[in-house]
């Protein structure tokens, strides 16, 4: 077969873009070479429906070992009792959880997308808002912090079956114990989606949801720095609270229901190449060097947030406890859409984002989200993160000056050349 140069040339272009730019998209990271090698390995050839030791295909003796290692490492990393490493993505993990424990039309209570939540937590354009009856809590306007009073009031009034916490653009820690308390009162299960801060939680830099939440889901490619994928975990709540039955009409444990909801409920064959890459990433996340990395991610985010505050940018909630921050640009006379485009011209990649109580549409928005997970993998520390803050400020102040943006782009290339990506 002839090499498909059209595609490989484009992959080379993408590598150059990643190498030369400043990557501040909060949900992205740069995986290690060994994670990439596993993700591009012969394991992509293998079908393995089922679970290790219980497959619907022959020839699974090798992938069984790989998937078992992935499960064991994930349990060790998060202190979980039970794990399913097969979800193809974060959205698939959440779909499987809802399928396992809810019936169509059941009520769910999630964090409002426009305040920082995720589409899969009940948005009307997503399966979660179409199949179930979504209710939402948000943040307090004055503080930007989760409105736990509103969460409790809504839970008591609506009596949802599930309360889902976790976010895509919330820069503070969560009070899982408080959410569990009201959930127990109204008979709901708590699902924590820790896709964003998973790495910080794994290494003890944020509150651990597993002792408080019945089910925890995550993506594996953000702060966790693994391949694109998802995972579901359970800490100690194995009991099936509503006597939900399995396919044969018998009552199953929560973890049995979750396994069935991943396969055959929402997926076919697991991606064993991705699972091998997950296993490697979990191993890396258990290392001392990852601990240094994730501590630096948090320090860099704090330093960048401090810089922005000093420059009169409005950070929602006033700062950050994790790897990201949401900047409200309404006092800077530029929309999120414009800011994303201007920064893009300067070689700085970010994404526009709604801010709580935004009056602009999701396509325009009044905010921009910055995260430090990827840039820290490049070796950036506090000194350079402040330089990056200065470049961002300079670019936003030169929004209509293409020559100036070109000059900033030059400085961006120069800075990143000192921090090679794949040496």
- Which of 115, 135, 172, 196 forms a contact with ligand PLP (CB under 6 A)? 196
Annotated binding site: which residue ranges?
113, 117-119, 361-363
Of residues 84 and 240, the one with the C-beta less far from ligand PLP: 84
Instruction: Round to whole Å and give the CA distance between 321 and 149.
Output: 21
Residue labelled with tokens 């993998």:
377
> Which of the residues 19, 47, 133, 253 is marked catalytic?
47
120 binds ligand PLP (CB under 6 A): yes
Binding to ligand PLP by CB under 6 A, coded x per residue (else -) over 333-372, reads ----------------------------------------
SS3 211: coil
SS3 233: strand
Of residues 167 and 294, the one with the C-beta less far from ligand PLP: 167
- Which of 29, 86, 168, 353 forms a contact with ligand PLP (CB under 6 A)? 168
Give CA separation, 366 vs 68, 160, 354, 361, in Å. 45, 31, 6, 9
Instruction: Round to whole Å and give the CA distance between 319 and 314.
Output: 9
Annotated binding site for (6S)-5,6,7,8-tetrahydrofolate: which residue ranges?
113, 117-119, 361-363
Instruction: Round to whole Å and give the CA distance between 405 and 342.
Output: 8
> Which of the residues 219, 255, 350, 376 is marked catalytic?
219
Binding to ligand PLP by CB under 6 A, coded x per residue (else -) over 48-87, reads ----------------------------------------
255 binds ligand PLP (CB under 6 A): no
- Counting other chains too, the contacts that 59-68 makes at CB distance below 8 Å and 24 or more residues apart are 63/272, 63/275, 66/272, 66/275, 66/276, 66/279, 67/270, 67/272, 67/275, 67/279
219 in active site: yes
Instruction: Round to whole Å and give the CA distance between 65 and 126.
Output: 35
193 in active site: yes
* Residue 134 φ then ψ, to 5°: -85, 140
Of residues 146 and 395, the one with the C-beta less far from ligand PLP: 146
222 in active site: yes
Of residues 196 and 252, the one with the C-beta less far from ligand PLP: 196
Which residue's beta carbon is nearest to the bound ligand PLP? 90
Torsion of CA 331, 110, 170, 177, to 10 degrees: 130
Gyration radius of the chain over CA positions: 22
- Catalytic positions: 47, 49, 193, 219, 222, 228
Please report, as ranges, the residues that interact with ligand PLP according to CB under 6 A.
27, 89-91, 118, 120, 166-168, 193, 195-196, 219, 230
């Amino acid at each position: 077969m002839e090499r498909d140069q059209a595609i490989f040339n484009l992959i080379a272009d993408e590598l150059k873009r990643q190498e030369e730019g400043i990557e501040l998209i909060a949900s992205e990271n740069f995986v290690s070479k060994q994670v990439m090698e596993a993700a591009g390995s012969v394991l992509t050839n293998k079908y393995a429906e089922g679970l290790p030791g219980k497959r619907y295909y022959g020839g699974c003796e090798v992938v069984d070992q790989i998937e078992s290692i992935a499960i064991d490492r994930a349990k060790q990393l998060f202190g979980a009792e039970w794990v399913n490493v097969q979800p193809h993505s974060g959205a698939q993990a959440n779909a499987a959880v809802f399928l396992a424990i809810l019936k169509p039309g059941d009520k769910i209570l999630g964090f409002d997308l426009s305040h920082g939540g995720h589409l899969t937590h009940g948005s009307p354009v997503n399966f979660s808002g179409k199949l179930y009856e979504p209710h939402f809590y948000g943040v307090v306007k004055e503080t930007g912090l989760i409105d736990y009073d509103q969460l409790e009031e809504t839970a008591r009034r609506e009596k949802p079956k599930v309360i889902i916490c976790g976010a895509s653009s919330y820069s503070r820690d969560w009070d899982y114990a408080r959410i569990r308390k009201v959930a127990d009162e109204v008979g709901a299960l708590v699902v924590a989606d820790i896709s964003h801060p998973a790495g910080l939680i794994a290494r003890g830099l944020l509150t651990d949801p597993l002792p408080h939440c019945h089910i925890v889901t995550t993506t594996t490619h953000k702060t966790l720095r693994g391949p694109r994928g998802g995972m579901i975990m359970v800490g100690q709540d194995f009991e099936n609270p509503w006597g939900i039955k399995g396919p044969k009409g018998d009552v199953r444990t929560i973890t049995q229901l979750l396994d069935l909801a991943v396969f055959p409920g929402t997926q076919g064959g697991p991606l064993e190449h991705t699972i091998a890459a997950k296993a490697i990433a979990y191993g890396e996340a258990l290392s001392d060097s990852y601990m240094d990395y994730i501590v630096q991610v948090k320090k860099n985010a704090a330093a960048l947030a401090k810089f922005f505050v000093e420059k009169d940018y409005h950070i929602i909630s006033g700062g950050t406890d994790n790897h990201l921050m949401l900047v409200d640009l309404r006092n800077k006379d530029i929309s999120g859409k414009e800011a994303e485009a201007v920064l893009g011209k300067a070689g700085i990649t970010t994404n526009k984002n709604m801010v709580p109580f935004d009056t602009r549409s999701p396509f325009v928005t009044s905010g921009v989200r910055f995260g430090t997970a990827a840039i820290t993998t490049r070796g950036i520390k506090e000194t350079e993160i402040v330089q990056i803050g200065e470049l961002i400020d300079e670019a936003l102040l030169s929004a209509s000056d293409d020559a100036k943006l070109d000059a900033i782009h030059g400085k961006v290339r120069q800075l990143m050349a000192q921090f090679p990506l794949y040496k």
